[in-house]
Amino acid sequence: MENLFYKIKYYFGTIYRGLIGRFHNIFDKAPAIKSGAEWYSLGDSTQGRNIRCYKFGQGEKKILLMGGIHGNEVGTVKLAHNLINWLCGNQLRFSNLTIFVVPCLNPDGAEVARQFPDYKHRGRIGRLNARDVDLNRNFPTTDFMSQTTWKTGRNYHDETIAVFGGDFAGSEAETKIIMDLIKKENIKNIIAFHNMGSDVMPVSGDAVAETWAQIYFKKAKFKIRYNVNLSGSLSSWAKENNIHYLTVEGSSRWGSDWHRQYKAIEEILASM
């Protein structure tokens, strides 16, 4: 009976989220990035789409904020566009920082998601890159696996979907691009935007990331989760390379979530 109730709830929840997704894609589009924003190319995706990095400030401390590692998480790209425009008018407040924003690491997948928003299945289409690799399972970590999983649903335990982590660790152009940026700039702080779960996942034992998670809990009312183990993830790679890292799972697949998240982002930047 409990399983039947859950299936009914999931069905109607999917319909509701699809309606909300349509609303967001009509009324919450990614804003055009202001012309004065400084950017440079990191390189091209598998299909030749340019991957941009926006840079703010010249401070000693460096932080990377990134969206669109999964192309179907279109709301994260909208969030990043809002963030870039906000930083254009507020960067002087964070003079001790150099802030890097990569709005979309997986533009090939994002284009698929744009063409096929997949409202019927909670927006699953477009997650992978053009070689059908889950980029957040492709990093060179001690737990890397080519055949790995994507967990969805309540507490990320309701459904386990097989995904491809790549022929070998770090095999993908997009993975190499983001690792090259982090290494070249010696970035020691990363926040990666995903969706949807309305929660944050700090690396266990990382006091800095745990402080960021508490800020999200206070400002955005996001839950804090630990030990959501993902093979070959950017989170694991960051931990193995002594980088402070926070996964942010926004509340909407298709919406920017900006008004819910920006106070938390602002406080995190101000606290550094």
Using the predicted structure, report yes or no on whether residue 2 has a pLDDT greater than 60: no
Q: 230, 237 in Cβ contact below 8 A?
A: no
Domain boundaries, the chain: 2-271
Q: 227, 204 in Cβ contact below 8 A?
A: yes
Using the predicted structure, report yes or no on whether residue 1 has a pLDDT greater than 80: no
Class of domain 2-271: alpha beta
Task: Give the DSSP H/E element, type plus range, for residue 51.
Answer: strand 50-56
Q: Which residue has the tokens 């930047």?
A: 269
pLDDT score recorded for residue 18: 83
Using the predicted structure, report yes or no on whether residue 43 has a pLDDT greater than 70: yes
pLDDT score recorded for residue 260: 97
CA distance 114 to 126: 8
Using the predicted structure, report yes or no on whether residue 83 has a pLDDT greater than 90: yes
Per-residue pLDDT averaged across 122-151, rounded?
A: 95
Per-residue model confidence as pLDDT tens digits over 149-177? 887 766 666 677 899 999 999 999 999 99
DSSP letter (8 states) at residue 224:
E
- The residue type found at 239 is K
Q: Above pLDDT 90, what percent of the chain?
A: 81
Backbone angles phi, psi at 122, to 5 degrees: 65, 25
CA distance 61 to 179: 18
pTM exceeds 0.85, yes or no: yes
CA distance 28 to 26: 6
Question: What does pLDDT average to over the chain?
Answer: 93
Using the predicted structure, report yes or no on whether residue 211 has a pLDDT greater than 90: yes
pLDDT score recorded for residue 11: 67
51: which 2 tokens?
A: 């991957």
Whose CA is closest to 188, among 56, 97, 261, 124? 97
Using the predicted structure, report yes or no on whether residue 6 has a pLDDT greater than 70: no
Per-residue pLDDT averaged across 89-112, rounded?
A: 96
